[in-house]
Amino acid sequence: MYTYAYGICLLVSVLIWILIACRGYEKINPYTSTAFIIIVIVNLGYWLKSMVLSQEAAMICFCICYFDSTVLLSIMILSMLKALDIKTGFSIKFLAYGTAFLHLFIVWTSIHNSNYYDTITIIHTNMGNVTKVTYGPLLLFHTVYLSLLIAIFSVLVIVAYVKKGRYSKRTLYIYTVGIFVGLMAYLPDILGLIQFSLLPFVYVITDVFLVYNFERSQSHDLTALTTEYQNDQAVRGLVAVDTQMRFLSCNDRAYDFLPELREQVVDEPLMDGSEFTRLMYPMMYAFEKEGFASRKFQTGDITCIAEIHTFTIRANEPKRGYVYELRDATEEQKALDLVNSYNESLNRQVQEATRNIRSIQNKVVAGMANMVENRDNNTGGHVKRTSDTINILVGEIRRQGLMDIDDAFADDIMRAAPMHDLGKIIVENSILNKPGKLTDEEYEIMKMHSTKSGEMVMILLDGVEEEHFVKVAYNVARYHHERWDGRGYPEGLVGSMTPIEARVMAVVDVYDALVSKRAYKEPFSFEKAAQIMCEGMGTQFDPNMKAPFLGCKAQLEAYYTEINAQG
């Protein structure tokens, strides 16, 4: 039974060794690959020891098994030093391996004396052969040596947990658990508390975790991931993240562009609010949509350009994550600035021409808005009134500082207000001027005006006006009938999905409808209109609009009082 159990451990470790050898990686960590081989050798020793019948043969098997507490442990220590980015030159490695093999040599030369093994007794049981060992005086030497290695490894583990560096925490956990579980399994063996050694099972379990981690750790190795960029690594920064947006690795050049990466922990999610996070997410989304993404950003005196690529470990595999390529574009930017300076005079002329075009455009829009309004007997003066009152409401919103509306944005909103009902030009007069309630079919036709308003804005302004104004005007026209609770139209947007400018337009649009005379109703009193508006905050309107609405309520009432007095 013991033989079968050890044989299974040996078979598993051999299969794992073959798997790693056949994977064909660009770069294989020598410590990891050597550890797999040593585990095979050690498991071979335990398997043979369960079958031998002579004391000398058992002693030779013990000599093979000693690879674990000498060479294997030394490899783990050197691997940990490498992960911690602690330089180990030839002399350190020679000392570690030399001491390990010297220890082994002393054990091997003690086969015919009792220095290491005083007596070895083979016991035949129903489960298989086991060996009982009485150790000689050199056991103290082995104990001291093993204690020293365990102490060194323990210090390195503590340093690894405290220090921040570009190494995988998962690898650290595997090494830590593997070593100390192995030590716990070794103590009953060396103290003679049990006849059946648990170490081969510990090694196989560790082997499985190591091979899994080795497979995954290839995504941390930028040399393997970015072979096609190796010629550029001296001047370009490279940062790798996996598909779950966990940091994998970066080269030293990346620190020049994003110093905060020094604080980023391998295998951990990217730090919230970091410059890299703000840069990365928009690029990733753009890349997934368009297949390419590039961004320019400033860090100190350096102008940087970032590009994104996906990576895989081998061909025909799903992507494992993203590589961000960072390069210095300072000189390019200086050249661009120089060209821009030469164009200042031309820009002034263009701006003047643009102002003239805008003036013409505003007149065309105003003319169309008035034409639409002249067709609508229900809303006489609505365009002018909402254009005036939106100025009052936007001013109050900015005074209270409740929303991020700067001067340019405020100007865009107020210029866009007259265009919000352009789409009514498509609505038949019989529906537009119907004095009573619309039928369901007529209401659906009426609702189309918001979509058509957006389309007409694009026809009139796109390619003529600045992009930011076109966007605001489109949003105002298309979405001013959306509701905060999602029951509006045309898209049924919920909450802040509706753009701010459309939410502002909705308030003044409805308020004007309430306090103005229509063919189908008399105007509501200011008190009743205000009550209806406040009741709608959080359902029809953005609840954040309540405070600015109440803040400018007196101004609105004064405006409509003056308008009514003028007749």
Average pLDDT, the chain: 80
Between 264-278, 389-403, 406-420, 422-436, the lowest mean confidence (pLDDT) is in: 422-436
Lowest mean pLDDT among 143-157, 360-374, 438-452: 360-374
Domain at 344-566: CATH architecture: Orthogonal Bundle (1.10)
In this predicted structure, the answer to whether residue 319 has a pLDDT above a threshold of 50 is: yes
Strand partners, 119: 134
Angle at 164 between CA 158 and CA 165, to 5 degrees: 105
Q: How many CB atoms lie within 10 A of CB 88?
A: 13
In which residue are the tokens 């929303």 written?
403
Q: Which CATH superfamily is domain 222-330 in?
A: PAS domain (3.30.450.20)
The dihedral built from the CA positions of residue 428, 430, 432 and 437, taken in this order, carries a sign that is negative
Q: What is the pLDDT of residue 313?
A: 67
Q: Quick one: average pLDDT of 13-32?
A: 73
The residues spanned by each domain of the chain are 2-215, 222-330, 344-566
- Rounded distance, CA 480 to CA 466, Å? 21
Identify which has the larger pLDDT, 332 or 269: 269
The residue among 305 and 202 whose pLDDT is bigger is 305
Q: In this structure, are residues 141 and 61 in contact, taking their beta carbons and an 8 Å threshold?
A: no
Span 500-554, pLDDT tens digits: 999 999 999 999 989 988 766 788 999 999 999 999 999 999 999 999 999 999 9
- 497 pLDDT band (50/70/90 cuts)? very high
Q: Which two tokens stand for residue 477?
A: 């026209």
Yes or no: say if 379 and 509 are a contact pair by the CB < 8 Å rule.
no
Confidence of residue 228 (pLDDT cuts 50, 70, 90): very low
Q: Which CATH class is domain 2-215?
A: mainly alpha
Q: What's the pTM value of the predicted model, to 2 decimals?
A: 0.44
Mean pLDDT of 141-156: 85
Is residue 508 a contact partner of residue 390, using CB atoms and an 8 Å limit?
yes
Q: What stretch of H or E contains 302?
A: strand 302-311
Q: In this predicted structure, what is the pLDDT of residue 464?
A: 65
User: What pLDDT, in 10s, does the model give residues 206-221?
Assistant: 777 777 766 665 555 5
Residue 167 is which amino acid? Y
